[in-house]
């Protein structure tokens, strides 16, 4: 059974020329505004125990979506079905009274969430312990640092035992230690079969926590599905936008060809996935084949083949040339095909292109060159960096 079902959520902010117009409209129900759509057609469903990541640029509508899910905003159209108690950590200091002590605020905040005194009393100790506030719990909130406020807010939101937890970019102000603690708590939430909706700019945290993700772009769902895939696409898009000029020059599918037909023409380059079929997404550690079809324009030509993996910004990640692998020169005649096989693709999430090159016997001259359309690698490992490198660890053991 689904615990959260959102169908076609839309949010429209109404821009009024004068504040009083809003009041008049609310009463007589005739439009007196200019509409600004910040969310359009957002649909998704979440089963119990699933974690949904929400990613996207600033102003893409992430916070609006989370506020609608938490119930502090009403969607303009669309339906939202939520089962169970929701605890939301939307912004910092949610509902804290600056003059009251941390302890008094625990009571105020938890009763806002529908708890009565005896229930809070039972959890008081756990909340204080998790927040690591020590004696500060007896001082007014106004004396807290932003990290301390966040710790207390997160501690309350998660200790009240909700069925659905909504966290909006709150972990950003915490130190590394507390972030890890929060991630740990959220992970155990998931294991306990609770549903989490998490929004962050840290792709690492989203990748670590979320099964599914939604990428919001200008209020529209650009992509949703498997987290690693969504992150990969999002990162690819970021890269493309931060480097538009270089992207233009290298993504061209038209290989630079002279006016004279080369001796060997690269007809086609296909990137094949595990089933031997052309794919756009490649999972990390899966088998990848690059199938190169060449046609010799003359009777025969001796040369070498090269295959390179390039990032959209033109940086070469890896390249291999048959000559360097100790292979004899290839004799090209007629139409032939060659395969370049990667048994276990190590690339982390991102966009890549395959560049294929035919060179002469001495690899001094490029005869023909072709770059494929970009494909997307989908990382499977939480480790950072651009590729997986096999390794081992030897860590010091505690001496007795």
Partner 1 sequence: MRLAHFAIHRPIFTAIRHGHLLKEFLVRDIKGRFAGSMAGTLWTIITPAANILVFIFIFSLVLRIKVTAGETGTDRFVLFFLSGMFPWMMFSDALMRSVGSLVDNSNLITRVVFPVDLLPLSAVLSATIVNGIGLGLFLAYLVVEGFFHPSWFLLILIMAAQFVFAWGLACALSAGCVFLRDTREMLGIVLMVWFYATPVIYPLSMVPKSFRAVIAHNPMGMFITLYRDVLLRHHIHMGLLVWTCALSVISYIVGVWFFSRSRSAFGDVL
Q: Which residues bind partner 1 (CB under 8 A)?
A: 13-14, 19-20, 22-23, 26-27, 67, 70-74, 86, 88, 90-91, 93-95, 97, 99-100, 107-109, 111-117, 140
Smallest distance from the beta carbon of 164 to partner 1, in angstroms? 12
Smallest distance from the beta carbon of 400 to partner 1, in angstroms? 52
Closest CB to partner 1 among residues 91, 217: 91
Sheet holding 288-296, edge to edge: 264-272, 288-296, 335-342
Distance of alpha carbon 381 from alpha carbon 285, whole angstroms: 10
- Six-digit token string for 373: 């359309």
DSSP structure class, residue 134: G
Give the Cα-Cα-Cα angle 291, 368, 365 (nearest 5 degrees): 125
Q: What is the DSSP string of 142-193?
A: GGS-HHHHHHHHHHHHHHT--SEEEEES-GGGS-HHHHHHHHHHHHHHHHTT
Distance of alpha carbon 152 from alpha carbon 137, whole angstroms: 9
Smallest distance from the beta carbon of 31 to partner 1, in angstroms? 13
- Six-digit token string for 211: 């099964």
Smallest distance from the beta carbon of 187 to partner 1, in angstroms? 25
What is the radius of gyration, based on Cα positions, of the chain? 28
Distance of alpha carbon 164 from alpha carbon 189, whole angstroms: 9
Closest CB to partner 1 among residues 131, 203: 131
307 within 8 A of 290, measured Cβ to Cβ:
yes
Bridge partners of 250, per DSSP, are none
Measure the CA dihedral 211/225/354/322, to 10°. Answer: 40
Closest CB to partner 1 among residues 139, 381: 139
Closest CB to partner 1 among residues 94, 152: 94
Smallest distance from the beta carbon of 107 to partner 1, in angstroms? 7
Smallest distance from the beta carbon of 379 to partner 1, in angstroms? 34
Closest CB to partner 1 among residues 72, 300: 72
First to last CA, the chain: 52
Smallest distance from the beta carbon of 390 to partner 1, in angstroms? 47
Smallest distance from the beta carbon of 88 to partner 1, in angstroms? 7
Closest CB to partner 1 among residues 113, 386: 113
Closest CB to partner 1 among residues 143, 253: 143
Distance of alpha carbon 206 from alpha carbon 208, whole angstroms: 5
Closest CB to partner 1 among residues 68, 377: 68
68 CA to centre of own chain: 21
356 CA to centre of own chain: 30
Closest CB to partner 1 among residues 168, 233: 168
Give the Cα-Cα-Cα angle 206, 384, 207 (nearest 5 degrees): 15
Smallest distance from the beta carbon of 90 to partner 1, in angstroms? 5
Percent helix, strand and coil across the chain, each to the nearest 5:
30, 35, 35
């Amino acid at each position: 059974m689904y615990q959260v079902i959102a169908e076609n959520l839309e949010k429209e902010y109404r821009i009024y020329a004068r504040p009083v117009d809003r009041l008049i409209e609310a009463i007589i129900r005739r439009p007196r505004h200019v509409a600004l759509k910040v969310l359009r057609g957002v649909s998704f469903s979440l089963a119990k125990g699933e974690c949904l990541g929400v990613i996207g640029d600033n102003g893409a509508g992430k916070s609006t979506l989370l506020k609608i899910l938490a119930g502090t905003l009403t969607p303009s159209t669309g339906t939202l079905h939520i089962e169970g108690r929701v605890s939301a950590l939307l912004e910092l200091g949610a509902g804290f009274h600056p003059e009251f002590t941390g302890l008094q605020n625990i009571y105020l905040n938890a009763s806002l969430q529908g708890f009565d005194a005896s229930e809070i009393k039972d959890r008081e100790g756990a909340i204080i312990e998790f927040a690591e506030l020590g004696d500060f719990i007896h001082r007014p909130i106004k004396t807290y640092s932003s990290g301390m406020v966040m710790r207390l807010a997160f501690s309350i939101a998660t200790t009240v035992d909700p069925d659905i937890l909504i966290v909006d970019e709150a972990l950003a102000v915490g130190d590394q230690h507390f972030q890890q603690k929060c991630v740990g708590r959220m992970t155990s939430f998931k294991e306990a079969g609770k549903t989490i909706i998490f929004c962050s700019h840290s792709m690492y945290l989203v990748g670590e926590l979320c099964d599914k993700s939604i990428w919001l772009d200008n209020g529209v769902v650009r992509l949703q599905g498997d987290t690693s895939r969504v992150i990969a696409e999002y990162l690819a898009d970021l890269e493309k936008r931060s480097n538009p000029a270089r992207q233009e020059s290298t993504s061209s599918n038209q290989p630079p060809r002279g006016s004279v037909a080369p001796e060997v023409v690269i007809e086609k380059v296909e990137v094949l996935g595990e089933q031997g079929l052309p794919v756009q997404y490649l999972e990390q550690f899966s088998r990848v084949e690059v199938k190169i079809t060449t046609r010799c324009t003359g009777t025969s030509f001796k040369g070498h083949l090269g295959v390179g993996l390039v990032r959209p910004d033109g940086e070469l990640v890896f390249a291999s040339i048959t000559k360097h692998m100790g292979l004899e020169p290839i004799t090209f005649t007629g139409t032939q095909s060659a395969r370049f096989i990667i048994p276990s693709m190590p690339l982390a999430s991102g966009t890549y292109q395959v560049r294929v090159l035919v060179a002469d016997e001495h690899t001094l001259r490029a005869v023909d060159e072709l770059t494929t359309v970009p494909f997307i690698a989908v990382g499977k490992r939480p480790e950072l960096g651009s590729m997986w490198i096999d390794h081992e660890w030897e860590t010091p053991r505690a001496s007795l």
